[in-house]
Each structure stands twice: as structure tokens, then as C-alpha cells.
Amino acid sequence: MHCSNHIIKFADGESAYREEVRELKSKGENTPRLPSSSLEEIVKNTKFLGVHLAENLTWTLNTSSITKKAQQRLYFLQKLRKAHVPSPILATFYRDTIESILSSCITTWFGNCTAFNCKTLQRIVQTAEKIIGVSLPSITDIYTTQCIRKATSIVEDPTHSSHEQFTLLPSGK
């Protein structure tokens, strides 16, 4: 043992622990946690796993970030169209570069998007449709498909923490 390591056990350590537990129980489970030191700070927004989270839990910042990225990729889609690339290849480019951006973590944020944000994202899909010349799934269809995929993967995985939340209908759906 290093000489600077000292473990001191007080006789009343257990009673102090019990008092702390009683105090926590009396406060209830819904008591908000406050920063315990001045080193912690509250930020207005942050980016986690590519998703922008705002302190007020709106998705406007995330939607504008996705829109900006998708519009940059639309520029390249237009350049490919001007180079007379066939529509099937343009559709593949759209799915791989633009739709993948639009659908990134969509099950997390799209359900709480404002109508304005949904229209903004749908305009990107419509612009891509005009460039490619084929019908593409709407942003709502992309969201629905991703939700169904996520729910199916949870139902099929008994080790998933949310597996018990799902019960199949008698029809098996």
C-alpha cells in the first residue's frame, strides 16, 4: 500500500449512509438533479452521434443541419444529371448519399419535428425527384419504414431491453 493512501472507517459511517438513503427516499424519485459543482455547465445544444440536441428539445437545429448536408449532395446529383448519367444510377446515388443523411436516426427526431421542418425535408426529396425523373419515397414514408424496421428488430431479439414492451397481435403482426 502506498503511504499516501489512507482508508479511514468511522464508527458512524453506516448510520450516515442510512441517513443519506432516508433523505433520498423522502425527496422522491422525480426530484431534479442540480449541478453539484461550479465545474459543470449547461449548454444550449450539443451534437451526439451526429444528431444535434437542443436544450429545449426542439429539432430545428438538427433539421437545418441535415438540410444543409442534403443540399450539398443535391449539387452533386445535379452535376451527374448534367453529365447524362442514367436515372437508375442517379437513384442509387440519391439513396446512398442523400436518403442516408435524411434517414440517419430518423426514428429519434422525426416524430417531434414541426410541420415547417417536415416540409423543408420533403422539399429535398421533391428536388431529387425532379433531378432524377423518378418517384421517390416521401420523408414520412422513410420514417415509417425505419420505425417498422426498428420495431421488427426489437421483436425478433429477445435480449433487447425493450423486447418486453412489444406484444404481437393474434394475427402475428
Give the contacts of 8 (CB within 8 A, at least 6 positions apart).
none
- The range of the structural domain enclosing residue 138 comes to 45-157
Give CA–CA dist 148/86, Å, rounded: 31
9-12 contact pairs (CB < 8 A, 24+): none
Give CA–CA dist 110/115, Å, rounded: 10
User: DSSP states of 15-31 as a string?
Assistant: HHHHHHHHHHHHH-TTP
Q: Is residue 149 part of a domain?
A: yes
- The count of residues in the chain is 173
pLDDT bin (cut points 50, 70, 90) of residue 23 is confident
For the chain, the domain total comes to 1
Give CA–CA dist 160/127, Å, rounded: 38
pLDDT of residue 48: 74
Q: Is residue 145 part of a domain?
A: yes
Give CA–CA dist 69/72, Å, rounded: 5
Give the residue with greater pLDDT, 146 vs 23. 146
What is the Cβ-side half-sphere exposure of residue 158, based on CA atoms within 13 angstroms?
0
pLDDT bin (cut points 50, 70, 90) of residue 110 is confident
Q: Is residue 56 part of a domain?
A: yes
Q: Is residue 103 part of a domain?
A: yes
Position of cell 422539399? 123
Give CA–CA dist 156/150, Å, rounded: 10
Residue 41, classed as helix, strand or coil, is coil
- Report whether 47 contacts 53 (CB < 8 A): yes
The alpha carbon torsion through 10, 14, 19, 21 (nearest 10 deg) reads: 130
Q: Is residue 5 part of a domain?
A: no
Q: Is residue 37 part of a domain?
A: no
Q: Is residue 171 part of a domain?
A: no
Give the residue with greater pLDDT, 11 vs 147. 147
Give the residue with greater pLDDT, 118 vs 26. 118
Mean pLDDT throughout 73-102? 93
Residue 163, pLDDT above cutoff 90: no
pLDDT of residue 42: 74
Q: Is residue 30 part of a domain?
A: no
Can you give the pTM of this predicted structure?
0.67
